[in-house]
Structure 1
């Protein structure tokens, strides 16, 4: 694999770092909301309790997705540092710039995820 010289790595690093900050803020907020829901002892109404469980379930799903996206964002930032950003992890071919602009955490070229 060879380092990409056709990418503005500074631009992608800035985008990814901004997303990292946003994701960390979202994760902190979701964890705070889950703590509040989990510690609300004053609920006696079954409907209120069911509603809180539903909110908690949605927040947990959102939290998992945000944590996964943060992990992928950190992975992409590491690839910028080690010179492999924009290289498909399956084929070793260049990921099109247009794909990276739409999805800066892309690991593969389109269709490579299905290849064995």
Structure 2
């Protein structure tokens, strides 16, 4: 008698409940899929952009450390406060680098102001 009552009292999910639960989980996963795809693409894009910026910074630092002449434009920066004005002459160095995101090539341009060394310390 005990065997018969145990067979009628089986616990667990039916096939229909399992399929329904899997379907709901699939709908939720599909809803969030574009978010994950766009996030991953953004992460890779920012990584490529950071590599290009690092390459530009290296070029600028090498030019400064090697004391290479800057062939870019001459520029003056003026600071003024309370009627006192200070003009700093120098050169504006512009360096461009391209980074790619898929088939699209995006330019990055960094500018650095390099003050003239007038011998004052």
What TM bracket, shorter-length normalisation?
0.3 to 0.5
Structure richer in strand, relative to its length: 2
TM-score (normalised: structure 2): 0.38
Give the number of the structure whose alpha-carbon radius of gyration is greater: 2
Structure richer in helix, relative to its length: 1
TM-score (normalised: structure 1): 0.39
- Structure with larger RCO (C-alpha < 8 A, sep 6+): 1
